[in-house]
């Protein structure tokens, strides 16, 4: 829809001041106390789907290593890889059978070391996914635990007698459907699993479990890992009295009664573990990212810790709950998290969430909206976590038949729940067969959109989503106001246009986002913010025929357009 993308990188700017990002990253803490992860752009990689080096249809570590130059050119500073530990793959790696190795389908520890070394050469940090709540039932700890009631590792998991013959200890349900208790016939006790039966919960009330898991993090830190994304942190503890959860009206997508997870999720002991885990991370100058699903910002704030001594980066999933392009809704979310006190962490989508291209697209302006959403969350105060393929406009392709579903959630809950396969499809590198992901048969089908939305094509198109991401990330890295500036909202009652300043000392960047399918003209309320300039120097925009300067305070905007100046 848009004409040629206009990009003006200004050397001398009155509103913006550039600093080399490399200087900020070279130090753990800069002169103003910012840590490396506050200036970084994170990028989630689903290893099965990123790049396949041996053509077996499954992505691997060598494949990721081969794309390091692409990631560097894009503007990525850290990659978070979903689990690549040895696993039976019941939940695609989130059922770990060995925390200190690499699954052969992805490669070897030597391959990991090469990946980490190549990342360091390019200034790209490696973040591992730490599955804290549970292990695989094939882990040696659990194999020993279920061997007898007196085994060494018996108390490393949560075992209880049933209420009676054929009756589990209480009414708790698995988030993946049905009872959260499975009877083990050998010892005639039930073990607890918040997820699949093949993912028994570790007993975090046992100090030996805590020590073993903390030692896992130390082991990976010693291999060069820069931090961990902590999986399912809310579910580490359960009520020791096993009180039943309250039943709510209706049924869920698995046909079970709706339930409030009052006694097995978000218990206060979680924060004690996070504080202790943070101490270990601080000893290695590492960062902890939390999978923190919260009902509001006040709950999110708890994960930073009362003294900023828990998670440095709890994810703001409230941002993803705004499933429409709405200036008022995003304005409300941004204001709430910005006032919470911690460093915001913004996410548009991930391996468990339908891709943002689908959620926000209207079927007509999808590419423009993809740029709009990038212009939003990559220009805010905080650290963004991108999801692979987001930068080229990858979309979901959900299974049409139950027999095509790979994700066990979809198999259990079909057809109400189709699973997460759609957001995990192979990365689209070229317009060749299988999108250049593999010469074999890909483990999931490639969306038909790969013919137009792929890295090779978009690198040649100056108006592509990919090029917009690259220019925006370059600007973000160079501009001190975008890195560290305060968020200052403008025109807060505008129903269609979201606008704000990023202000750092005497420098300001203006961000204007038209979230309407119609052209809009606005009068920006800059004077009340102390800005009396009548002109803005254009840094980046999706609107064609833009000059180096724009007259203020009035501004005309194309549908779903971005202006940064």
Catalytic amino acids?
231, 291
Pairing, β 507-514 against β 497-504: antiparallel
Name the phi and psi angles at 509, rounded to 5.
-120, 135
Question: How far from 537 is each of 241, 315, 544, CA to CA, in Å?
Answer: 63, 33, 15
Calculate the alpha carbon distances from 332 to 70, 99, 335, 459, 510 in Å.
Answer: 35, 40, 5, 35, 19
Secondary structure percentages of the chain, helix, strand, coil, to 5: 30, 20, 50
Long-range contacts made by residues 144-151, C-beta under 8 angstroms, separation at least 24? Answer: 145/191, 145/200, 146/184, 146/186, 146/187, 146/191, 147/186, 148/186, 148/187, 149/187, 149/189
- Inter-axis angle of helices 366-377 and 465-478, nearest 10: 10
540: DSSP letter: E
Radius of gyration of the chain (CA): 24
Give the DSSP H/E element, type plus range, for residue 191: strand 189-192
How far lies 227's CA from each of 81, 286, 312, 403, 411, in Å? 11, 5, 11, 38, 33
Nearest by Cα to 385 from 37, 121, 33? 37
């Amino acid at each position: 829809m848009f004409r040629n993308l206009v990009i003006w990188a200004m050397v001398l700017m009155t509103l913006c001041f550039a600093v080399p990002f490399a200087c900020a990253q070279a130090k753990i803490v800069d002169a103003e106390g910012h840590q490396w992860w506050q200036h970084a752009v994170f990028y989630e990689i689903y290893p099965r789907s990123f790049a396949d080096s041996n053509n077996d249809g499954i992505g691997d570590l060598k494949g990721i290593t081969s794309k390091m130059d692409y990631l560097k050119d894009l503007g990525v500073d850290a990659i978070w890889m979903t689990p690549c530990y040895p696993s039976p793959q019941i939940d695609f790696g989130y059922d770990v059978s060995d925390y200190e190795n690499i699954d052969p389908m992805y490669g070897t520890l030597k391959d990991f070391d090469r990946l980490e070394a190549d990342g360091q050469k390019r200034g790209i940090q490696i973040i591992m996914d730490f599955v804290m709540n549970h292990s695989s039932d094939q882990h040696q700890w659990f194999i020993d635990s279920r061997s007898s009631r007196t085994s060494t590792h018996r108390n490393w998991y949560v075992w209880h007698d049933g209420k009676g013959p054929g009756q589990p200890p209480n009414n708790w349900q698995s988030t993946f459907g049905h009872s959260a208790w499975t009877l083990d016939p050998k010892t005639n006790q039930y073990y607890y699993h918040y997820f699949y039966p093949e993912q028994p919960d570790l007993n975090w009330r046992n100090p030996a479990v805590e020590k073993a898991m903390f030692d896992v993090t130390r082991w990976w830190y010693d291999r060069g890992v820069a931090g961990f994304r902590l999986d399912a942190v809310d579910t580490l503890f359960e009520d020791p009295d096993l009180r039943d959860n309250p039943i709510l009206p209706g049924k869920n997508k698995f046909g079970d009664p709706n339930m409030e997870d009052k006694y097995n999720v978000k218990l206060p002991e979680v924060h004690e573990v996070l504080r202790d885990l943070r101490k270990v991370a601080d000893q290695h100058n590492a960062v902890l990212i939390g999978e923190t699903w919260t009902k509001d910002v006040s709950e999110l704030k708890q994960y930073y810790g009362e003294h900023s001594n828990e998670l440095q980066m709890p994810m703001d999933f409230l941002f993803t709950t705004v499933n429409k392009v709405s200036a008022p809704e995003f304005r409300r979310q941004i204001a709430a998290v910005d006032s919470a006190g911690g460093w915001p962490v913004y996410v548009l989508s991930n391996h468990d969430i339908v891709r943002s291209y689908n959620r926000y697209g209207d079927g007509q302006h999808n590419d423009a909206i993809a740029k709009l959403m990038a212009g939003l969350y990559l220009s805010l105060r905080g650290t963004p976590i991108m999801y692979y393929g987001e930068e080229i406009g990858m979309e979901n392709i959900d299974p049409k038949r139950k027999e095509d579903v790979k994700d066990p959630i979809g198999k259990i809950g079909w057809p109400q729940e189709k699973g997460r396969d759609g957001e995990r499809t192979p990365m689209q590198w070229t317009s060749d067969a299988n999108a250049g992901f593999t010469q074999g048969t890909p483990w999931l089908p490639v969306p038909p959109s790969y013919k137009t939305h792929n890295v090779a094509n978009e690198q040649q198109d100056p108006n592509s989503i990919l090029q917009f991401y690259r220019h925006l990330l370059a600007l973000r890295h160079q501009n001190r106001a975008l890195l560290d500036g305060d968020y200052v909202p403008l025109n807060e009652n505008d129903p269609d246009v979201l606008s704000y300043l990023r202000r750092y000392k005497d420098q300001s960047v203006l961000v204007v986002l038209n979230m309407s399918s119609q052209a809009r003209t606005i009068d920006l309320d800059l004077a009340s913010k102390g800005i009396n300039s009548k002109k803005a120097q254009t840094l980046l925009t999706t609107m064609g025929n833009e000059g180096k300067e724009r007259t203020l305070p009035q501004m005309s905007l194309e549908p779903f357009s971005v202006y940064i100046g």
